Amino acid sequence: MRIGGKMRLSDAELRVNDTLMKLKAKELDVARTTTTNFPPAVHFFRAKSLIDKSEVFNMIKNMPKGKHTLLAMLRLRLRLV
C-alpha cells in the first residue's frame, strides 16, 4: 500500500498529478530507448546534468514544501469554515 493511497485529491491536484505522471512516462520512454541516459543507472556526477534537465525534477523542485504546504492547507481550511 502506498502512503496516502486512500487520500482524495482536489480537481487541481488531480490535474497536477496527471501532468506529472505524463511527464514521468515520457522520461521513462526516453530512458528505455537510450539506456545511457537513465539517471538511476548512471553515477550521480554523470547523471546530475540529466536530472537538472528533467521536467519531472523541475516540476517537483518548484512545488511548495514543508511549512509552505502546511500554511497553504491551513489558509484553505480557514476559507472553507
Give the integer Cα–Cα distance in Å for 65 and 38.
26
Residue 6 lies in a domain: no
Cβ atoms of 41 and 73 within 8 Å: the answer is no
Q: What is the pTM of this model?
A: 0.64
- Is 67 exposed, middle or buried, given 0-12, 13-18 or 19+ CB atoms closer than 10 A? exposed
Domain of 18, in residue numbers: 11-80
Residue 53 lies in a domain: yes
Residue 71 lies in a domain: yes
Per-residue pLDDT of the chain (81 residues; tens, 9 = 90+): 456 667 787 888 788 888 989 999 998 888 888 766 777 788 899 889 888 989 989 888 887 776 667 677 677 666 654
Written as nine digits, the cell of 7 is 487520500
Give the integer Cα–Cα distance in Å for 81 and 30.
46
